[in-house]
Chain A
């Protein structure tokens, strides 16, 4: 309840600031104006939001799947670790934002380049969290499995992987938090639809209130995605009591 009061207070302060300074709406629209635009252009906003959330969700799914698969491969194979793991780490030195124009060039203005962008941006946190979890299995469990003559594959799938799920769950939360960044950057660079596209378009035309309305929806989408990922993460590790937040 308290954060809500804080938020309402901030919105009131914003309204007051605009009213006092007399800033024109194309520089800083008051929240009341944004709310009006939100209602008036609701159909347009929903349409664009559907597009952007499609990009976010697909990018998240793709990034999670690829990241998890690679982490498991690294955990299972020393050769892969030696030949490819340093590359994955070094690849983080490339600012993902810098390759966004290339992705648009290669994959076009449609959804694919944004999905790729979101997947790329979440790939690393997913790989590193799951791989870390896979490396840090309780040595006691591994020894127990050894005295039981367990084959390495069974140890990986039945002990190390479930034991790494809490680490994967935190990687998934980070991924859900950054997936919208990937989608929106992709839309800024070159797109024909989506909330990021709508923002750049309306700002270029001096329709700042509409840009703010799109931003509001984007915040809500990000929040919803994070909440969904958090729920899923908790279901993934039912044996872990939820940590307070």
Chain B
């Protein structure tokens, strides 16, 4: 991303911003609420007025956005359905079923989303995001409103399934960034600036009980708190 200006409702969220996202890796953008993380992600997805997507992206929002009138399987295949490409849809169906098995929803293929718990719905949304099979995946606090244990489970799942894709994940949770990010960058200020690359050691998903990781979490929290 080069020299981007992000303006939302007349407020400048970011000016002359240039950022590199390494291919095939996960970059976590960490920042407090209201700093402009979501705007940045929406800019990357081409969803802000005047912004254009960096290429074909798969986008996962905070809410699961499952369509209540479609079965779980049909929701996962939504992109193919909307593009009216019958052949591609048929070709994608086995993959959709496989993904739903991976996220543990084999028994709910034909259920309506309303029959699912919050965690299950978010799993289905993750499967839908991956079923789009796009190299760039943008995620906006995808596990933000889940309980702590479900969130850890889903982070493990996401780390496994998102391997080799270029992922940009925004979050306000330092632990989530540390578990899922090859690289972490802190967003701060108004308009915001992006801090230097923090690259914790170790493979993904990192162990939440690891002492070095927890020490780093303390540092990140101190850094986030130092800003207003």
* Residues of A near any B CB (own CB < 8 A): 138, 140-141, 143-151, 154-155, 158-159, 162-163, 165, 237-240
Contacts and interface: CB of A to CB of B under 8 A. Distances in A.
Contacts of A144: 59, 61, 65, 78
Interface stretch (B9-17, B50-58, B187-195, B218-226): B50-58
A146 B46 contact: yes
17 contacts: A141-B65, A141-B67, A143-B47, A143-B61, A144-B59, A147-B58, A148-B82, A148-B83, A148-B132, A151-B82, A154-B81, A154-B82, A154-B83, A155-B82, A159-B67, A162-B69, A239-B69
Contacts of A138: 65
A106 B53 CA distance: 57
Contact-residue bracket for chain B: 20 to 34
Contacts, number: 61
Given A140-B65, A162-B69, A239-B112, A147 B81 contact: no
B165 interface: no
B170 to A, nearest CB: 15
> Chain A's interface: helix, strand, loop or mixed, by majority?
helix
> Chain B's interface: helix, strand, loop or mixed, by majority?
loop
B47 A147 contact: yes
Contact of B59 (A147, A151, A163): A147
A10 B170 CA distance: 66
Given A145-B82, A148-B82, A151-B83, 12 more contacts: A140-B61, A143-B61, A144-B59, A147-B58, A148-B78, A148-B132, A149-B56, A159-B67, A159-B82, A162-B67, A162-B69, A239-B69
The 3 closest A-B pairs by CB, nearest first: A150-B82, A148-B79, A147-B59
A140 B59 contact: no
B65 A147 contact: no
A13 B139 CA distance: 68
Contact of A158 (B59, B82, B138): B82
Contacts of A146: 46-47
A240 B82 CA distance: 23
Nearest to A144: B65
A192 to B, nearest CB: 46
Contacts of A162: 67, 69
A5 B83 CA distance: 57
